[in-house]
Amino acid sequence: MDYLIPQFHDYLNEDGEVDVAGYTFSRDNILKELEEEGYKEAFADWLQQRQIENLSRADEILNLHDNRARFNRLKEIYARGAVIPFVGAGMSMPSNYPGWTKFLYQVLDETKVSKVDFDEAIAKGQYEEAAQMLSDALPAGCFLEHVENAFGGNQDIYGVVQRLPQIFKQAVVTTNFDNVLNRCYENANFNFDEELLGPNAEDLPRALGENRRVLVKLHGKANSSRNRILTKDEYDKHYQNEQALESVIEAISNRTLLFLGCSLTVDRTIQCLKRIIGNKDPENVPRHYAFLKLNEGEDRIARKNQLGEANIFPIWYTDDHDESLEALLEKLTEGVNQ
């Protein structure tokens, strides 16, 4: 829980600094330097109180709609070690990495691409096609320079993403280009044994069978062209047909996925899950779950049915993203030893 120490220090310093004979001291430093054991006890007490508040917040969330029964089922699966997190851009945003859609629109402002055509591609979930428009409109290599500037740097890590190494210790799947997950797991001394990029994700069942800790980066890395999928050209290079993509998605979805920080729009991954379910008996494949924000005015039933077609079942929250996810993850791990 070392990642929470800065927040603990903020709590200790709420009443401001201490002035002594013209010298200024922060309260966290005074306690840590003069009473180390007291500092450790105060941190433990603060963590316990935070846990109580998280569990209370989680209960409020689970009282919404049909959340609780669904969450209880997810927790049973998690307790058996059969849940793999699918991490989206929302988990990296607190660390100052942009979401993919926001990034594409930022680059759009640097091109002469038709906004009407671009908006249409985004609305259809055709992100690779939208990225291709931008890449084609810029000099060779310039689009990749934008990508590396946005996602290739080592920004300071913030947010609930830092909790994942203590919760999911075997495999993680992500569509993110940044290296936040790598660094989170390294900081927690849970380094990944293997990275599977793009189409190589098809090897995930083998790696899990060998009990290896694996990071699957479905779209590759920002600063490496190897198995990277940014544009339509790169997509076509790595996935010659829809069946090739289905093989990869089927490989990562043979265990229960928990979508975290994902908008779950109609992108290729969701469409592919729909096709897989359409060809199988839904009762004979793992169900997937999502901690998903319900926005004001959103048609919850229509959204739920749309996700159900991909065998994804949402657990809704309405408040702050990071606080809600931290609360739900606290509840997920409560009483579970892994």
- How many whole angstroms separate alpha carbon 225 and alpha carbon 227? 6
* Phi/psi-derived region of residue 329, left when phi > 0, alpha when psi is between -120 and 50, beta in every other case: alpha
Q: Indicate the domain borders of the chain.
A: 66-97+160-333, 100-151
According to the 3-state scheme, what is the secondary structure of 102-169?
HHHHHHHCCCCCCHHHHHHHHHCCCHHHHHHHHHHHCCCCHHHHHHHHHHCCCCCCCCHHHHHHHHCC
pTM of the model: 0.91
Q: Across-strand partners of 131?
A: none
- How many whole angstroms separate alpha carbon 79 and alpha carbon 211? 17
Tens-digit pLDDT string for the chain (338 aa): 788 888 899 999 998 988 888 889 899 998 998 899 999 999 999 999 999 999 999 999 999 999 999 999 999 999 999 999 999 999 999 999 999 999 999 999 999 999 999 999 999 888 999 999 999 999 999 999 999 999 999 999 999 999 999 999 999 999 999 999 999 999 999 999 999 998 888 899 999 889 899 999 999 988 877 788 889 998 888 877 667 778 888 888 889 999 999 988 867 788 889 888 888 877 888 999 999 999 999 999 999 999 999 999 999 999 999 999 999 999 999 999 76
Contact between 291 and 18 (Cβ < 8 Å): no
Tell me which CATH code domain 66-97+160-333 carries: 3.40.50
